Amino acid sequence: MPQPTATVHNDNFAAPYNIWLNGKNYITWLKIMLLHVSGQGKRGYQTEKVTQVEEDAPSFESWCIKDSIVKGWLIKTMEIDLVE
């Protein structure tokens, strides 16, 4: 008998879970975001241990992409009035 298969899609751009920063739940939101960002190997971008590289450095484009991904996760999990 064939074994069942499962397909896992890794959407690195998806907002984690269903929690939205609303100004009253910062500690809970922060814990969840740190878990998510750490799980994606990008915690240093959130804690600023990964610093921006010089614009003329070969790794600048890669840094911009990763930094934008993390910023996108944060913004996607905030209520709109906190983003504006």
Residue 7 belongs to some domain of the structure: no
What mean pLDDT, rounded, does the chain reach? 84
**Band of pLDDT at residue 9, cut at 50, 70 and 90:** very low
Q: 4 by DSSP, 3-state: which?
A: coil
Residue 57 belongs to some domain of the structure: yes
Residue 35 belongs to some domain of the structure: yes
Residue 16 belongs to some domain of the structure: no
Residue 73 belongs to some domain of the structure: yes
Strands (E), the chain: none
Output the pTM of the full model: 0.74
Residue 36 belongs to some domain of the structure: yes
Q: Judge whether residue 49 has pLDDT over 60.
A: yes
CB atoms within 10 A of CB 52: 12
Higher pLDDT, 81 or 9: 81
Residue 15 belongs to some domain of the structure: no
Report how many domains make up the chain. 1
Q: Judge whether residue 54 has pLDDT over 90.
A: yes
Domain that holds residue 32: 26-83
Higher pLDDT, 19 or 25: 25
Q: Which of 33, 41, 40, 38 is nearest to 76 (CA)?
A: 33
CA gap 52, 55 in Å, rounded: 9
CA gap 55, 35 in Å, rounded: 29
